Every structure is written in C-alpha cells, then in structure tokens.
Chain A
Amino acid sequence: MVNARLSRRAALRGGAGVLLGGASLGVLPLFGSPDRKQDPDSCRARDLSASQKRLVVSNWPAYIDEDDDGYVSTLTEFEQRTGIKVDYTADVNDNLEFFAKVVNQLGSCQPSKRDMFMLTDWMAARMIQVGWLQPLDRTKVPNLHANLIDSLKGVGWDPDRTYSAPWQSGLSGIAYNKSKVKEVRSFEELLSRPDLKGRISLLTEMRDTMGLTLLSQGADPSDFSGDEWDDAIDRLRKARSDGQIRAFTGNEYIQDLSAGNILACEAWSGDVAAAEDENLVFVSPEEGTMIWSDNMLVPNLATHQGNAEKWIDYYYEPEVAAKLAAYVWYICPVKGAQEAMEKVDPTLVDNELIFPTAESLKTMHSFMALEEFQIRAYEGDFADVIGG
C-alpha cells in the first residue's frame, strides 16, 4: 500500500518533470536569433540637418586633436565654421565590441542614436554587406573623391567609396626591443628565430596576423585561395606548437615589449610611436606590411546625414588633414596634406609613418573582403590556433 502510494508519487513527479522538460523545449524557439540584414533604402530617416545643427559622432580614443591653450582643434574650427554642434564620444574600443553594442538596434532597423562612427575596414565591409549603412551623397563630399589617396581607392568591399570615408590608416608590422635583441627583419624570422623562442607575441586581430602570415608564405592577403589560407594557418599552428609564441594580445603588447617579457612582436605603427620608448623600433617586415583604415560611416536611421557629410568633406581639406595627422601620427589618407604639412610642422613632411612614399606603399597590403561563411570558417580556424 505504502509502496503503491510512493510509486504513484514518483510517477507523478516523473510525469511533471517530463511535462516541464517538454514545455521547456517548446519554449526554446522563442529564443532564436533573427536575421540581421536590413535594406538601407527602406530603413532610413528623414534628414533633419537643415533644421538641427547637430552631429553625433563615435570614435576610438585618442584619435583626434583636442583644444589646448592657444591651440584650436580641428573639431572646434568645424563647429565655428558650420555652426554645427558636435556631440563627440570616444566609445569605440574594439570593432567587435562596438558591433555588439549596435547589433540589436541596427539589426532590427532601430535608431543607433548616432550619425557617424569610425570602424576598421573589415567591420565596415560587414556592415555594408548587411545593409546597415547609408550611402553618402557624392555631390556633398567632393573633397573625399578629389583628395582620397590612390592606394585607398577601389577597395573590394566599397569600390567607389559610396559608404565609407577613411579617417586614418595604420600599418601592422613588427616591433622589437633593440636593447634586448638584434634586429628582426622579417615575419618569418619572428616565427622561427631560436633566440626569440617563447618571447614573441602576435595580435588577436585575425586580418593583421593572418595577413602577415600569408605574406610570409608568399600569398597575397588581398586575394588568396583556400589552399593558401590552409598553408598559412598551418604555419601559424606550427609556430605555436613549437612554443615560439608567448601570447596573442590586443593593445597591451606594448607594455610587455617595454618590460622585456617579450623581445619582439607583431605591432601597430602608431602604438610604437606613441609608446615614447627609444628602445622600441617599428619595422616593416621584408615580406610587406598590412595596411588598414578606420572609416567614417553613417548608419541607417541617422538623422543628421547632411551634417555628417559636411564633417567628412571638412576633414578631406588638406590643411585640416595635415593638422590632424600632425597630432595623431597615423597615415593621412588625404592628398595634398603632405604639402599642407609644410605650414603645420615641417619636420613631419617626410615622416614615412604619416606620408608613406609610393615605394613603401607598394609593400603595404590590405586583407580581402570575406563573405559571411568565410568569416566563420577563417575566424574559427584562427580561434583554434590562438585558443584551445
């Protein structure tokens, strides 16, 4: 009798469990993740630029000049000239992080509350692909089309610069600590020299690290085949299993390099200049460097596109571009800025990190545009090597 009651209770409990489990499985599809593609033609806002003299901009930290006593920044001059009040925030720290910040709004045609933000090429390409960005009116940005340097024209993901305007560019190459180790000339050396074993770091940015690896394997990062990719990823995997690589890092590698934890590393040009450590040397590897740009982009439902276009056109004036470049020390994407630099700071006119020569430009490569399925596969391969 007791047993019977017990087993009935157990059966009831079991039944309830099954029911709950079944109900749970039924509920799960509600948590699916929707398609994020949008159509920029239909997902656009009325431009209020004429009536509202405002502009909301998101950019990376330390990426613009600032007012200092006696020095009037390019941004302040822009405001004075146009009467547009700029709401400028340095809230882009990482492409993927920023993507995560806006994916829910832009992915479902909601306002991102920004008129413009600056993102790196590949992320810009991705956003163009899914239709999150508004095309710029060519007639409103004549300086962009007249003054953009040739090497940045005709990129695969935005051939006519319809959606993007480069803000600044930079190089990925090699840095080493000259007080600790003799010169490192090539990326292959970095991956194989015995005296560097366990004392180098590479970047977690897939396009930079794989671009340089592809170059070292004789492939062209802007146009490579699946086999070439496999060779490159194998090369990287071997370096890792050999114990050559100490770490895959983000921005923090520069401290490790200064501290001597690593002797040489893959590095971004601007960082080495900004570190102000005379022992740190930036080298363009013999195989070539990767060049990347951060681009001014106008998202769907931006309400001040006209003002954003005024901003872009303003920063493509050579004098303004020179003034900005003298402050941030990145590659200036504006033709004529080199000449204009004579007046701003003559010592910087021949600085290769700001104005690369035609010769060195030939050694600078960009990474080819990837389809979503390629991103998945390649990021997965890369994550396998740097993690797990």
Chain B
Amino acid sequence: MRRGRFTGYWLMLPAALWLALFFVIPFYSLLATSLYDPEGSVLTGYDVTYHFANFVDALDDFWEPLLRSLWYAAVATAICLVLGYVLAYAIAFKAGRWSSLLLVLVIAPFFTSFLIRTLSWKLILADDGFVVDTLQFLHVLGDDSRLLATPVAVIAGLVYNFLPFMVLPLYASLEKIDGRLIEAAGDLYASPSRGFLKVTLPLSKPGVIAGTLLTFIPAAGDYINASLLGSPNQRMVGNVIQNLFTSTGDYAAAGALSVILMAIIVAMVMVYIRTAGTEELV
C-alpha cells in the first residue's frame, strides 16, 4: 500500500522529462543567449555576462519589424477569423453529407510542405500572373502595380497558411452546438441574425479564442511568407532573427529579440484571455 503513494509522481515522470527536454532546457538556453556578451562571436564563443542592455539594443534596432510582425499577424488573424468562421459555419451546419469531404479539403494543404505552398502563391500572385492581370483589367490595380513584394501578398500568404488553424477549432466548437438551441432561440423570438449573435456566436467562443491564438502566435513569428512573398520593406521579426542567427552570427541580439517577441506574445495572450474570459468555456 505504501508503495502506491508515489505512483502518481512516477507517472508524471515522462511528461516532466518531456517538458524539461523540449521546453525548460531550450527556454533557459534561449534566455542565456539573450544575455550573452555582445562582444563574443560564434567562433570565439559567447559568455553569459547578464548583458541586459541587449534587450534595449534589440528594441532600439528592430522595433520596426517587431511592430510590423504584430500588425501583420493581427490583420491576418482578423481576416482568418472572418473567412474561417464562414467556412466552419458552412461545414458544420450547411454542408450535410459533404462536411467530411470539406474538412479533408481544409486540411489538404498540409499534405504539401509549407514552403512549396508558399512558393506556389508566388506563382499565383506573379506580376504577369492571372490574378494581377485580372485585377489590372478590372482597374482594381494600376497597370504598373503588383501584388508580390507588398504587404497584401505577405498578409494573404499568412492568411492562407494559417487558415486551417482557425477553421479546425472553430469547426470543433460549432459542430458541438446542439441544433435545438438554435431552434429554441428562433422559438423565443430571435430572428436568425439575433439567434446567431446571442446563441451560436457565444457558444463558439472557445473555438474563436483557440483559433485566434493558434493563428496569431505562429503568424507573428513567421518568416517564410515575408521572405518569399514580401520585399525587404515587409521583413518581419522572424526574418530578422533568422538573419541574426545564421548570417550575422549575432547570437546575443537574436536571442534578445526572440525573448522580447516571446514576452510580448505571452503578455498579449494573457490580456486577451483575461478580457475574453475563459470561465464560460464549458
């Protein structure tokens, strides 16, 4: 009997090891990197000198791509939310027997690599491609303008790549809604639009929260879309970090910037969850 008292703790061991190996150690390593002596180099080595000025320097040098990342990610998340909601709603309530097929289609892009998908957007949005041609024909775009290498292309890429992360949680929470609740709302004098606002939307809130987080967080840290679909003027913080790590070898600045990005995202997520409220998430 006495031996059983510690069984629970032993069962936690795999999870704890996993956390230590894939979260705690990398996190400490990153934190240490952000406090490196900036005078070091990849070859001569870096010492942890608690050089907190790295954070100030990184903010000072890279506040622009940092803000741009948050802005692009926010816009992309908003667009994903609108598109994803319509899509998830249609699949959950209107698609009938087609719903599983549509769900597979939502996930289908994952069958190809992220890189290939983004590269194919480059072809679609090409200056001589049919999208630009059509928009020019319709005079939405001027004859000399383009989509590639503009914020539109980068945000479109983010929306495309992260839409499934929005659709799936939204679908999961919409699909769970008892259809009789919507009938009940109608029975209780709520027009379809009021019924949506007062019943369907609040009940899908867990999906909205999960979807926006799953979209915003990776979008804010993404660098593939900006580097393939954007120009140097659309660089996001991910590109800067990647450059600092691989080309410049400035580990201290790269680490500081990564920690700053992480801190900003954690803070935003906490404020968001507190305002949106999770106590109702049944």
Contacts and interface: CB of A to CB of B under 8 A. Distances in A.
Interface of A: 24-25, 27-37, 96-97, 100, 103, 107, 126, 129-130, 198-199, 204, 206, 240, 243, 245-248, 252, 256, 259-261, 372-373, 375-376, 379-380, 382-388
A37 B43 contact: yes
A386 B232 contact: yes
B64 interface: yes
B146 interface: yes
Interface string B19-36: 000000000110111011
Interface stretch (B106-114, B121-129, B135-143, B160-168): B121-129
Interface of B: 28-29, 31-33, 35-36, 40-48, 50, 61-62, 64-65, 119, 122-123, 126-129, 146, 148-149, 231-233, 235, 239-240, 243-244, 246-251
B242 to A, nearest CB: 9
A294 B269 CA distance: 48
A126 B41 CA distance: 12
Contacts of A96: 246-247
A301 B226 CA distance: 41
B247 A206 contact: yes
Contacts of B244: 383
Contacts of A31: 28-29, 31-33, 48
Nearest to B148: A261
A28 B48 contact: yes
Nearest to B46: A33
Given A28-B31, A96-B247, A240-B232, A35 B45 contact: yes
A191 to B, nearest CB: 14
A387 B243 contact: yes
Given A28-B32, A380-B248, A387 B235 contact: yes
B41 A388 contact: no
7 contacts: A27-B28, A31-B32, A32-B36, A36-B45, A198-B149, A385-B232, A388-B64
B231 A32 contact: no
Contacts of A261: 122, 126-128, 148
B31 A388 contact: no
A199 B146 CA distance: 10
A53 B247 CA distance: 38
A299 to B, nearest CB: 15
B44 A260 contact: no
A35 B44 contact: yes
A380 B250 contact: yes
Given A245-B231, A259-B128, A261-B148, A37 B44 contact: yes
Given A27-B28, A260-B126, 5 more contacts: A33-B33, A36-B45, A37-B44, A107-B43, A383-B248
A24 B231 contact: no
A206 B246 CA distance: 13
A39 to B, nearest CB: 14
A376 to B, nearest CB: 6
A198 B44 contact: no
B35 A28 contact: yes
Nearest to B61: A388
A103 B42 contact: yes
Contacts of B243: 383, 386-387
Contacts of A29: 32, 47-48
B148 A372 contact: no
Contacts of A103: 42
A376 B65 contact: no
Given A24-B31, A96-B246, A379-B248, A247 B232 contact: yes
A215 B126 CA distance: 32
B39 to A, nearest CB: 9
Contacts of B128: 259-261
B232 A36 contact: no
A29 B37 CA distance: 11
Contacts of B148: 246, 261
A383 B46 contact: no
Contact of A375 (B64, B240, B249): B249
Contacts of B45: 32-36
B44 A387 contact: no
B50 A25 contact: yes
A28 B233 CA distance: 36
A36 to B, nearest CB: 5
B28 to A, nearest CB: 6
